Structure 1
């Protein structure tokens, strides 16, 4: 089964909507609560990063017999220094995003923490791709 959601740049009014729909769908499929929590965290953090940092992107979730794979793709500025971006507390969020309570610099570290496998690739002026896998 595949779930697909488009996420728009600066769409703070709908931020969290895709991850909420993903969580509800997985709940209906009787996915274990612990797995569900990890997927909810991963997809929420990814969605917020798309809203704050990209020019728009997508979240694709593949529900497989032994795992859930999440692919996040965006077009945008890319991440200049991925190692630095993975540091807890590091953020390039705008003052506006911070005023709204976002941009604490925990998004990427949280995504990695809740994933069994995590891969991030980014190219300046092209965008960023993230793959997360949560095993059952």
Structure 2
């Protein structure tokens, strides 16, 4: 998954398609798709690889993004719009504007971020 720009967006497209089949309202689908895409791109740009888990419950829809290393060095800075540590390669592909985490937090109902040098775990939720 690391630097797999050719497949960027496939996970979020698949998640949106599945949830659309379940009949979720368009406004919730849009928010989920935005957050999922941003988190997916962050994993491609910044991690060594990882997994995405979709959880559907009576309380809501949850997405878990769990990756391996190097973690987020400064979460406070990373949460500021426009702050980016993206590589030149990511920027060449049009990614890395520094809006990922702020956008995810803005469109999600719950946002839980844990990070260390071994990796990052982001769990976001949407009330339905």
1:76, 1:102 → 2: CA distance? 20
Kindly report which structure 2 residues correspond to 1:89-100, keeping only aligned pairs within 5 A, or say none: 89-100=82-93
Select the residue among 25, 28, 41 that pairs with 2:18. 25
Structure 2: runs of 5 or more not aligned: none
Normalising by structure 2, report the TM-score.
0.97
1:15, 1:76 → 2: CA distance? 19
Q: Stretches of 4+ moved more than 2 A in 1? A: none
1:92, 1:13 → 2: CA distance? 20
Aligned length: 128
1:76, 1:32 → 2: CA distance? 35
Q: CA deviation digits over 1:62-87, x for unaligned, max 9?
A: 11123101111000211111111111
Residue 25 of structure 1: how far off its partner (Å):
0.4
Structure 1: runs of 5 or more not aligned: 1-7
Aligned to 1:76: 69
Normalising by structure 1, report the TM-score.
0.92
